[in-house]
Amino acid sequence: MTASNSSLAFNSEEILIGGKWRPAENGATHDVYNPSTGDMICKIGKSSAKDVDDAVRAARAALDGEWGQMTAVERGRLLMRISEAIKNHENELTTLEAMDVGKPITQARNDAVAMARYFEFYAGAADKVMGHTIPYMDGYMVYTLREPHGVTGHIIPWNYPMQIAGRCIGGALAMGNTCVLKPAEDAGLTALLFARIAEKAGLPSGVLNVVSGVGAEAGASLAGHPDVDHISFTGSVGVGKEIQKAAAENIVPVTLELGGKSPQIVFDDADLDAALPFLVNAGIQNAGQTCSAGSRILVQRGVYEDVISRMSEAISKLRVGQATDNLELGPLVSAKQKAIVDGYIDSGKESGLSIAAQGVMSDDLPEKGCYIKPTLFRDVPPDHKLAQEEIFGPVQVVIPFDTEVEAVKIANGTEYGLVTGIWTENGARQMRMAKAVKAGQIFINNYGAGGGVELPFGGIGKSGFGREKGFEALYGFSVLKTVATKHD
Ligand code: NAI
Ligand code: MG
């Protein structure tokens, strides 16, 4: 495909290596589908191990060029120009993303805006990462330096392609690293357009390389490449394990963001009017394909029926349509993902679980579109797979509890620990709960806090480790050196 109506026309079959756009080895491609219609829309380059090797070499060489000489303030200014350029191309990015992954236009636009914001945040942060001086024995001057790892690999998923590219590429560049980006098979188009935008904004050749392709080939060869110094990965637990094993061969640090099964805990004294939009939206935003989806709703017995009836009323009004219809939900990303989520809904029905509410499908949706109605299951046993596994679709479960102790036990009773929402007006309980729950982010009387790029994000347990977003991420994208000088 060549993106038309774009001032940055690009050929989706080309990958970016060392400042050159060229086809993958042997011209290999794979097909790209629009999940709103099921139609194939274009082909995208399918990078080989050789292509990835070329990209890593280009990223290594770029460290010795202009980029390696830039001061932190100059890198910051360049990141700010990239942020501005992303904003100037917001419409193209939005349209392309909506077509590629099925996001309703407003949600796709939010992602483009967030990507620009990541670059703005990391632009400002680039020259503010400091070392320390350390009081030590007489005759010594000791200080620490923060330096880039060097070549960083970024393997990202399809659910928030622009936001996740923004957070990992923005942070890595702020610290002076170079990058090789492997977008997901189902979401490569905006990564290619973004690379064009960054290039035009002045990012030197080889600093960002993009190798679209499939996980088992391009992803695996990037994760195991002996000349990559750091890997950041967002995706499934299974692939996260493979990435960690591959990196272990080279003793290379990894940041793993592996999703979750995040609870929202509603106590009897909660402000239900305030909670309701979050109880609903945190589970259905992006059609539920969100690592931090607050989709496990734990409700204290005194308000249990009230919460179910309010959520049911709201969910039964949610509409599912094509990305361009811009309703509350679009399709899932792919037929594969729809099959996974349909399987979960079927398993709930087969276990005799009761569905409290479902949303509404638009009329005349294309037959091959990947649509699922938002679905609310009630009285789900905490150990049922619907309450344990990441569904990654618009399926929410409600679980009753009696006491705070029981709420903590259920909340912490999965393999994951990404996010927890706590709804209570009792201040002491807010503080007890924040300490007791297993999660990298905790929200009290809100969920997500608007997704601010400033807020460090990452998991505990099988949700992974390392922190992305915010200033904290910059420590992960850098190496600490300690320098001790002996003097008279
Ligand atoms: P995935 O984990 O297979 O894909 C994520 C990225 O990893 C993609 O870029 C993919 O090409 C790459 N990849 C796949 N196999 C690889 C390998 N062997 N070596 C290196 N890279 C590899 O996710 P998938 O299959 O698309 O989705 C399946 C499930 O994963 C979802 O249902 C959801 O539960 C979870 N997931 C979680 C995400 C999160 O935000 N934490 C994002 C996407 C998926
Ligand atoms: Mg697609």
Q: Contact, 36 vs 323, CB < 8 A?
A: yes
- What is the distance in A from the centroid of ligand 1 to the CA of 7? 32
**Do 270 and 225 have their domain in common?**
no
| Number of domains comprising the chain | 2
Domain contains 424: yes
Residues annotated as part of the active site: 257, 291
**Do 441 and 477 have their domain in common?**
no
Residues with CB under 5 A from ligand 2 (ion): 33, 100, 186
Looking at residue 219, the DSSP 8-state letter turns out to be I
For 285, the 3-state DSSP assignment is helix
A 10 A CB-CB count for 392 gives 24
**Do 234 and 293 have their domain in common?**
no
Q: What is the pLDDT of residue 10?
A: 83
**Do 343 and 476 have their domain in common?**
no
Looking at residue 484, the DSSP 8-state letter turns out to be E
Q: Report the nearest-CA residue for atom 25 of ligand 1.
A: 236
Question: Which residues does ligand 1 sit against, CB inside 6 Å?
Answer: 155-159, 182, 184-185, 214-216, 219-220, 223, 234-236, 239, 242-243, 257-259, 291, 340, 390, 392
Residue among 277, 265, 331 at smallest CA distance from 301: 265
Range of the domain at 105: 14-258+465-482
Give the mutation target among 221, 236, 419 for probing the ligand 1 site: most ligand atoms within 8 A of CB. 236
Q: Widest CA span of the chain, in angstroms? A: 83
- Give the mean pLDDT of 155-164: 98
Q: What is the pLDDT of residue 4?
A: 46
Domain contains 3: no
CATH number at residue 157: 3.40.605.10
Domain contains 389: yes
Q: What is the pLDDT of residue 9?
A: 76
- What is the distance in A from the centroid of ligand 2 to the CA of 123? 31
Q: Contact, 101 vs 183, CB < 8 A?
A: no
- Give the mean pLDDT of 1-15: 72
A 10 A CB-CB count for 142 gives 14
**Do 249 and 344 have their domain in common?**
no
Task: For the chain, give the percent of residues with pLDDT over 90.
Answer: 98
Least confident of 4-8, 53-57, 281-285: 4-8
- What is the distance in A from the centroid of ligand 2 to the CA of 163? 17
Q: What is the pLDDT of residue 20?
A: 98
- What is the distance in A from the centroid of ligand 2 to the CA of 276? 32
**Do 120 and 250 have their domain in common?**
yes
- What is the distance in A from the centroid of ligand 1 to the CA of 334? 13
Give the mutation target among 111, 154, 155 for probing the ligand 1 site: most ligand atoms within 8 A of CB. 155
Is residue 1 predicted with pLDDT exceeding 80?
no
Q: Contact, 93 vs 114, CB < 8 A?
A: no
Is residue 2 predicted with pLDDT exceeding 70?
no
Looking at all shown ligands, the one closest to residue 184's CA atom is: 1
Write the pLDDT tens digit of every residue in 196-244.
999 999 999 999 999 999 999 999 999 999 999 999 999 999 999 999 9
